[in-house]
Chains A and B, each alone.
Chain A
C-alpha cells in the first residue's frame, strides 16, 4: 500500500458549467469547463464548495466522471437525495453558465490508468458507477484493449446511469464486457441478472482469481462490504481489491 506522493497545494478553482446531462430521472451530470486544470487520474474526486449569499458555506465530494483525456473539462454526476442540502441544488437548479467552486484532484489510491494494465474488474452499485465510468472512458479514449468486465447493480433499467454510452462501449467488442443486475424491476424480456450481487454472481462474472485482476468496487456500503468479502472468500487477493463508498448521506 504505497504510492507516489502528491505534495501540491490544492487551491480552489472556478468552473463554468458548460453542459448538463440528465442521466436518469434522479441523476444529472454537470460538465464544467475549467482553465489550468492540472489533469487527474480516473477514479479521483473533487471537493465542491457552495456559498450562500449570507456567507454560509458547505462542501461535498464528487467523483470525477470524465476521463483525464479531455483537457479543461471536469464532469461530476450527482444523484438527487430528496432531503439533501446540496444534491437537489446541483442536480436540479444549477444552469449552464453558472460558476462553481471546486478543488482537486483528490485521492490517488482508487485510480486506474491504461499503464496499470489488467485484467480489470469493476463492480458498481447505483451512482457508484461514476469513478468507474471515468476508467472506462479513459480506456476507450486511449483505445485500450485491456480485458475489462463491469458488473453494475441498479434498481431498474431506468436507473442505469450512462446506459447508452455503456452499451456503445460494450458494442465496440474491444475487450469490455458489461453485465447488469436489476434488483427491483426488470423489463419484460430481461435476460440479465435480477438480484443483489452475491457470491454465485461474482463467481460467474469476475475473472478467475489466478488472473490477478485489478478490482475496483464502488457503491453503497452493504454492496461494497458483501462484494469485497465474497471476492476474498473466492480466493481473490485482498490487496488487489480497492473499495470506495457512495452513501446517500446528507447529500
Chain B
C-alpha cells in the first residue's frame, strides 16, 4: 500500500546521506536518550562483567580487569527503532570476541543483562566476528550514565535497543527467548535494513 500524503513534501533529498539511512529513518545531529526507567548508578568498585549461562565455565571481570583488556576504537552509524539515525559515531570498547575467547559453549543465543533489570536477546553469531563491543567511551570521553555508562553493549548493525545500556553480562542460551522490549512486541532480531521494528515485520 502506498498512500501519498496530500501536501507532504519532506526535506530535500540528499543522496549522500540517504544511502546510509535504513527505511523509515531520519537523520539527527544530537544524541537522543531513551530508557524505560531511572538511570542506574553502579559504583565502579561494585561493577563486574559476567559471561554465564550455557558455558562450561563462567567468566567474570572487575572494572579494572575489564579495562586492562585490549580495546578498539570503532566508528559506526546508529539506528534507533524510534526512527532516528546518527552517522559516524565513535566509540571505544572491548570486542565481544575478546571476552568470549576461550569460552566453551554450544549455545546459539545470548541474553544481555543490565543494571536496572533491562535485558535484550541476540543470536550469538551477531556478537562475534568483530560485530559487537562492550563500549566504555563515546567521542573520546567516558560513557555518560544516561547513554549507558559505565559500559554498554554496542551492536550497531541492529536497532539500538539491542545495544543494551548499563550492561553487566551476557547469558548464553541454547534457545532464543525474548528480552525486555521483545516481550512488548518488538522484533526478536531487529535488522534496521529489513525494517524489523515489531514482531511480524
A:201-238 near B, CB below 8 Å? 221, 225, 228-229, 231-232, 238
Within 8 A of A (CB), among B29-75: 30, 32-40
Q: Which chain B residue shows the least CB distance to A45?
A: B82
Q: Closest residue to B9 on the A side, CB-wise?
A: A52
Look across to chain A and name the residue whose beta carbon is closest to the beta carbon of B24. A59
A93 at interface, CB cutoff 8 A: yes
For residue B183, which residues in chain A have a CB less than 8 angstroms away from its CB? 2-3, 5, 108
Task: Tell me the count of chain B residues lying within 8 A, CB to CB, of chain A.
Answer: 46
Chain A, 76-94, CB within 8 A of any chain B CB? 85, 89, 93-94
The verdict on B180 contacting chain A, using a C-beta distance below 8 Å, is yes
**91-127 of chain A: CB within 8 A of chain B:** 93-94, 98-101, 106-110
In the complex with contacts A85-B10, A239-B117, A245-B33, A61-B82 CB distance below 8 A: yes
CB distance from B166 to the nearest CB of A (A): 12
Closest to B35 in A: A243
Chain A residues within 8 Å of B117, by CB: 1, 239
Instruction: Mark contacts of B1-17 with chain A using CB atoms, 8 A cut-off: 1 yes-contact digit, 0 otherwise.
Output: 11111111111010000
Residues of chain B within 8 A (CB-CB) of A6 are 184-185, 199
Q: Does B84 contact A (CB under 8 A)?
A: yes
Contact A8 B6 (CB under 8 A): no
* Contact pick for B11, options A85, A109, A231, CB 8 Å: A85
CB of A225 within 8 A of CB of B180, answer: no
Q: Which of A50-64 contact B (CB under 8 A)?
A: 50-53, 55-61
- A101's partner among B3, B38, B181, B201 (CB-CB below 8 A) is B3
Contact call A12/B27, Cβ cutoff below 8 A: no
The residue that A108 contacts in the complex, of B38, B83, B185, B200, with Cβ under 8 A, is: B185
Q: Are A10 and B200 in contact (CB under 8 A)?
A: yes
- Bound complex: CA of A185 vs CA of B181, how far in Å? 39
Interface set, chain A 36-58, CB cutoff 8 A to B: 47, 49-53, 55-58
Whether a CB of chain A sits under 8 angstroms from the CB of B123 is no
**Does B28 sit within 8 A of A, measured CB to CB?**
yes
Question: Which of these, A85, A101, A108, contacts B26 with CB under 8 Å?
Answer: A85
Q: Is there a chain B Cβ closer than 8 Å to A72's Cβ?
A: no
* Residue B198 CB within 8 A of the other chain: yes
**Neighbouring B residues of A93 by C-beta, 8 Å:** 7-8
* B138: Cβ under 8 A from any A Cβ: no
Instruction: Check A247 for interface membership: any CB of B closer than 8 A.
Output: yes
Given contacts A1-B118, A60-B83, A107-B184, contact A243 B37 (CB under 8 A): yes
The number of chain A residues touching the other chain, given as a range, is 35 or more
B130 interface contact, C-beta 8 A: no
Is A228 a contact partner of B37 (Cβ separation < 8 A)?
A: yes
Given the interface pairs A100-B5, A239-B117, the reply to whether A245 lies near B34 with Cβ below 8 Å is: yes
- Contact A101 B5, beta carbon cutoff 8 Å: yes
- Measured between beta carbons, the chain A residues less than 8 angstroms from B30 are 247, 249
Could you say which residues of chain B place their CB within 8 Å of the CB of A10?
A: 185, 198-201
Q: Are A51 and B3 in contact (CB under 8 A)?
A: yes
**Least Cβ distance of A36 to chain B in Å?**
15
* Given A6-B199, A51-B2, A99-B3: A239 touches B37 (CB 8 Å cut-off): yes
A232–B115 alpha-carbon span in the complex (Å): 15
Q: Is the CB of A98 within 8 A of B200?
A: no
Q: Would you call A250 an interface residue if the criterion is a C-beta within 8 Å of the partner chain's C-beta atoms? A: yes
Write the chain A residue with the least CB distance to B7.
A93
**Across the A-B interface, the 10 shortest Cβ-Cβ residue pairs:** A9-B200, A6-B185, A228-B38, A108-B184, A59-B24, A1-B117, A50-B5, A221-B33, A50-B8, A238-B38
Which of B's residues lie within 8 Å of A, judged by CB?
A: 1-11, 13, 23-24, 26-28, 30, 32-40, 82-84, 116-119, 146, 178, 180-181, 183-185, 197-201
Return 10 A-B CB contacts under 8 Å, by A number. A9-B198, A51-B4, A56-B10, A58-B26, A85-B26, A108-B183, A228-B38, A238-B37, A244-B36, A250-B28
